[in-house]
Amino acid sequence: MKGLILVGGYGTRLRPLTLTQPKPLVEFANRPMILHQIEALANAGVTDIVLAVNYRPEVMVETLQKYEKEYGVSITFSVETEPLGTAGPLKLAEKILKKDNSPFFVLNSDVICEYPFKELADFHNAHGGKGTIVATKVDEPSKYGVIVHDIQTPNLIDRFVEKPVEFVGNRINAGLYILNPEVIDLIEMKPTSIEKETFPILVEQKSLYSFDLEGFWMDVGQPKDFLAGTVLYLSSVAKKNEEKLAKGSNIVGNVIVDPSAKISPSAKIGPNVTIGPNCVIGDGARIERSVILANSTVKEHSLVKSTIVGWNSTVGRWCRLEGVTVLGDDVEIKDEIYINGGKVLPHKCISTNVPQEAIIM
């Protein structure tokens, strides 16, 4: 089988992290975001993976060659000279995706979930349509484009309603699909939206179905959602792979800690924290609902809450970071500094308080 991952471009929503590292290689729960998806595709029997990119593919080549060997897959870059939307990349990768008659998976690189690819393929093959969208249920469907089903045929999509004022359903497109190769014939080689241009044709042909996603789902393409997705992911790990979670008298709730990290026994970690390789957490530090990326230090008695600490960064003593603060690569926060919702660009030193949301350049 085959799979295409829509990686896209600059990852501007996740800056300042993506100023240093391409978005697919930013670690989510201590593993590059793209690796979660490659592993899930490989486990479902996918042998050919296409990454649709239009920015910095050369930076990813070495890492992805390693994954090719590890997971026994072939990974190809499909490089766009101009952004082609969500359907154009399928046309660009037509040669690989249509090399045989088997269906192929398409997924958005920002989506984190339990990736039920095997079940999705079985469901798709059973209903005989040309396409299947993975659907997730949401509490506030008025913010999204909602899937409305046919009354007679289970799971057959009748139409989409964009940001409905009245309740018509609570299932939305989760950004994962399985499609037959013939769907590519409906796409022109130009910037095209699969949601707005290709799917409506399949709906008219009564050949597009939806598959309900079980478990958690989150688009983690921006810091607020990256942290919320981490909470959901850790909760899922607690249910299915509890042995991966850190244990100890100073650990509260669901926490993942790389074995190389050094944490003071008097620090309090959690809930909902991931701590990357070679990090150092000092005496009396308090970390909750945060992500600490590799080679970073949080010194004594600092509070880090709802924050992403970028690689190689240092948080001084008696600091307080909160409110979806994001530190880029190699940032230094001096002692006794308060930051609330600040986005600090790489290689900066902060010696004054940032009491409200701001980009520090």
> Which residue ranges form the domains of the chain, and what is each CATH number?
2-219 (3.90.550.10), 223-359 (2.160.10.10)
Of residues 8 and 129, the one with the higher pLDDT is 129
What pLDDT score does 66 carry? 85
Q: Which of 67-81, 126-140, 149-163, 221-235 has the highest mean pLDDT?
A: 221-235
d(CA 181, CA 203): 17
* Of 73-77, 243-247, 280-284, 356-360, minimum mean pLDDT range: 356-360
What pLDDT score does 12 carry? 77
Q: Is 157 exposed, middle or buried (0-12, 13-18, 19+ CB in 10 A)?
A: buried
What are the structure tokens assigned to 84, written together? 């082609």
CB 332 within 8 A of CB 350: yes
Of residues 278 and 52, the one with the higher pLDDT is 278
CB 32 within 8 A of CB 70: no
What are the structure tokens assigned to 5, written together? 């991952």
When pLDDT is averaged across residues 185-214 and rounded to a whole number, the result is 88
Q: Which of 79-88, 148-157, 161-170, 255-264 has the highest mean pLDDT?
A: 255-264
Instruction: Using pLDDT thresholds of 50, 70 and 90, give the confidence band for residue 225.
Output: very high
What pLDDT score does 337 carry? 96
Of residues 55 and 341, the one with the higher pLDDT is 341
What pLDDT score does 37 carry? 92
> Could you tell me what percent of the chain has a pLDDT over 90?
53
When pLDDT is averaged across residues 24-36 and rounded to a whole number, the result is 92
What pLDDT score does 179 carry? 94
- Whether residue 89 has pLDDT greater than 80: yes
Q: What is the H or E stretch that residue 17 is in? A: none
d(CA 18, CA 36): 18
Q: Which of 118, 143, 163, 190 is catalytic?
A: 163
What pLDDT score does 27 carry? 94
Amino acid present at 151: I
What pLDDT score does 99 carry? 85
**3-class SS of residue 149:** strand
When pLDDT is averaged across residues 323-346 and rounded to a whole number, the result is 95
Task: Read off the pLDDT of residues 254-302 as tens digits, 9 standing for 90 and up.
Answer: 999 999 999 999 999 989 999 999 999 999 999 999 999 999 999 999 9
Picking from 88, 345, 49, 120, the residue whose alpha carbon sits closest to that of residue 197 is 88
CB 234 within 8 A of CB 272: yes
When pLDDT is averaged across residues 134-160 and rounded to a whole number, the result is 85
Picking from 329, 269, 316, 347, the residue whose alpha carbon sits closest to that of residue 339 is 316
Q: Is residue 163 among the annotated active site residues?
A: yes
* Of 65-79, 239-253, 258-272, minimum mean pLDDT range: 65-79
Q: Contacts by 229-235 with C-beta closer than 8 Å and gap 24+?
A: 229/28, 229/112, 230/28, 230/29, 230/272, 230/274, 230/289, 230/291, 231/272, 231/289, 232/112, 233/28, 233/29, 233/112, 234/29, 234/271, 234/272, 234/274
- Whether residue 56 has pLDDT greater than 70: no
- Strands 171-179 and 131-137 come out as antiparallel
Q: Is the peptide bond before 16 cis (omega within 30 degrees of 0)?
A: yes
What pLDDT score does 79 carry? 78
Backbone angles phi, psi at 107, to 5 degrees: -145, 150
Maximum Cα–Cα distance across the chain: 65
Does this model's pTM top 0.75? My answer is yes
> Could you tell me what percent of the chain has a pLDDT over 70?
98
What pLDDT score does 117 carry? 93
Length of the chain, please? 361
The Cβ of residue 311 has, within 10 Å, a number of other Cβ atoms equal to: 24
Task: Read off the pLDDT of residues 114-146 as tens digits, 9 standing for 90 and up.
Answer: 899 999 999 999 998 999 999 988 888 777 788
Task: Kindly provide the b/e burial profile for residues 37-47, where b requires at least 16 CB atoms within 10 angstroms of the residue's own CB.
Answer: bbbbbbebebe
d(CA 216, CA 265): 32
DSSP character at residue 270: -
